[in-house]
Amino acid sequence: MAELLYREPPQERATDRLAVHNLELDKYRKTNLDNPTSPLECWLTAICRSQDGRKPLPEVVKMDAELKTSYDSDPGFAQFVDRHGVVSATPEVRRAYRKWEYDLILDRLDEERSAARIAEQMARSRAEGEAESRA
């Protein structure tokens, strides 16, 4: 178990005031995004559609009657949609997001290069082994 503590005295636990949520959107995308029924499904569907369509959350919500109904009836969802648009509109957030995307691309390239090197080494080792066994 891990906990967050404030670095400055009195160094009390920060976890009592902080909640971290890890949304596995790829798993949710495999379900039916067409008919969200619960409030949680509305949240997740809106996030997925926003990311997939590269559109702001408020625009996604306005285009879907079910999400609009959830927005009108769920103050938490409405606050999330409204604040997400404000936060994601700041240049710092957009820059950080572009850097994150760039880092992902670089990581994938590194993984591909590493896999290619390993495959090349395996092929070379196999060829050497076959040559030794013939000799």
Angle formed by the axes of helices 65-73 and 75-88, nearest 10°: 110
> Do 32 and 18 have their domain in common?
yes
pTM: 0.53
Number of structural domains (the chain) is: 2
What are the distances in angstroms from CA 118 to CA 50, 101, 103, 111, 113?
Answer: 38, 26, 22, 10, 9
17 confidence band (pLDDT: 50, 70, 90): low
> Do 64 and 130 have their domain in common?
no
Residue 38 has pLDDT above 80, yes or no: yes
> Do 84 and 95 have their domain in common?
no
Identify which of 56, 108, 105, 106 has the alpha carbon closest to the alpha carbon of residue 82. Answer: 56
User: pLDDT tens across 57-101, in order?
Assistant: 899 999 988 899 999 999 989 998 988 877 666 777 778 778 888
Burial zone of 129 (CB within 10 Å; 0-12 exposed, 13-18 middle, 19+ buried)? exposed
Domain that holds residue 110: 91-135
